Structure 1
Amino acid sequence: MGGWKMNAASIRTSLARRLGVLVVLVALVALVGCGASKGMGTVAPSKDPKADFLGTWTAVSVSDKDLGDLTLEDMTGLGIYFRITLVEDGTGTMDLAGDVEDLKWSLKDDTTVLINDSETAASSLELKDGKLVGDEDGTKMVFEKGDLVKEDMPKGGGSTDDKASEAVDYLIADDELATIRMTEVFVDFTGDPGFVVNFKNNSDKSLRIWSQSESFSINGEMREPIGLFELTKPGTYVDCKVFYDGAEVGHGLASLKDISGKIELMDEDYNVLRTYDFSYSYGAKG
């Protein structure tokens, strides 16, 4: 797998933190369409430069200082893929592992496309040797022409039926320092199950929450949740999106059984001020 030596959970965490950059690159992808019908080889030049960019493009490699080098095989093995489709009328779509957004695109010149989505400024992709290349903020993505995602690949890390979210109302703590409440359980686009913790700072100083090391278990097995840490300023709140690796604990909301552990409340310098018990089991009454 080249320079990729991170496990699935670590990559999933890094992808979540770098999602903004990746979405920009996926948008870039949507505008660069030059390749053979199956994305291999060099595309013969056409009389209409716009024609070279039309169709579906698939990200076949990602190079990033945090993620390392990922191939299409690496990404699809994690249930992650990137596709863009460019339509002749200047519209199109970008598909980030099943999350599809509309885009608009135009040509800057014969070898460069500009793409806009609903959230980012215009980005450019350059057509090089029959491939679409985007390089932004130290992250590089290369796309080849065609839908190269295998039909039998578990897109999204699980079946479509696994994707779900439900509102919950579980009060973890409520005192003069903080109000901590679990507000949602979900299965994300990779198939990983998780939950949202709302952390409100009731004090006049910055505070942190953190999952106490080696305190969490799920369904009788010691497993640390990923993402249960945040910093808030006085009088503000934040939602922590916490998840488990679905390959380890199972896919679907029903895998969120018998979760228990401790959440530490710290000051800005990581001094522990309070410790709160956490106990939740999906489907349990009361």
Structure 2
Amino acid sequence: MSTDRVWFITGTSTGFGRHLAELVLQKGEKVVATARRPSVLDDLVSKYPSDQLLVLKVDVNVSQDIVDAFAATKDKFGRIDVVVNNAAYAVMGELEAVSEEEARKLFDTNFWGAMCVSREAVKFFREVNAPGVGGRLLQISSITGLIGGAGMTYYAASKHALEGASECLAAELDPAWNIKITIVEPASFHTEGQAKTTWVPAHPAYSNPELPASRMRNGWGTYSPPGDVRKAVEVIYKVASLPEPPLHFLLGENAIMYARKKLADLAADTNKYESWSEGLKKNP
């Protein structure tokens, strides 16, 4: 793969987005780094030349911000090779505890914002890049996009939605466009996002401290995920360089463990009740 690629990365203020942007810049490639508060990237602006780094103010909840950012990238670099859909946040709590207003805001960022970026990315890869050059779209999801858990209802739902839409998009694309999609599903990596995660107060009916969500809520402040985010973005960078990348990419030992358990449970349930689906066709 070229070492002179242009990367468009959302949510670069902290976490995976920030560390990936730093890595790509260190490798000499170009980065369009977007954030709601561009000033948090001033240290990178002072370190890298303007012909390598473009910082743009983007709130993924504002569709015009996204459209303008892709237009600015076209004017600056003329192409995009990799788009990384990273902007997201987490609000945790039981289904009955999280307000509808808060849940809808979460979906606006984690799902609808990501969909708007995806739409513009596909259009750019097809219509601005040279014919057949295409591009890579990396959707930063989560293991919760595959596996739900107590206290994660709406966050997991937003990631499930992202994964479902991304699978459909991948199936819709004309192979001649050469657009590759990879859904990255990390688990248990220490980032600034953990400290920024909001836990809503528990619903009174879920006051039992032994419930799974209660245990998570009570232990959240002291839990330190074992994964090193710097090592993780090295792997993400490697995936973005594969000629034929996978649609799903589990990231981290815990992610693989959880996924294998779900696959085993799903296979067991399928096998146990397979006969119940026999004979359900309409009579001739």
Tell me which protein shows more strand as a share of its residues: 1
Q: How high is the TM-score relative to the length of structure 1?
A: 0.30
Tell me which protein shows more helix as a share of its residues: 2
Q: How high is the TM-score relative to the length of structure 2?
A: 0.30
Structure having greater relative contact order (Cα 8 Å, sep ≥ 6): 2
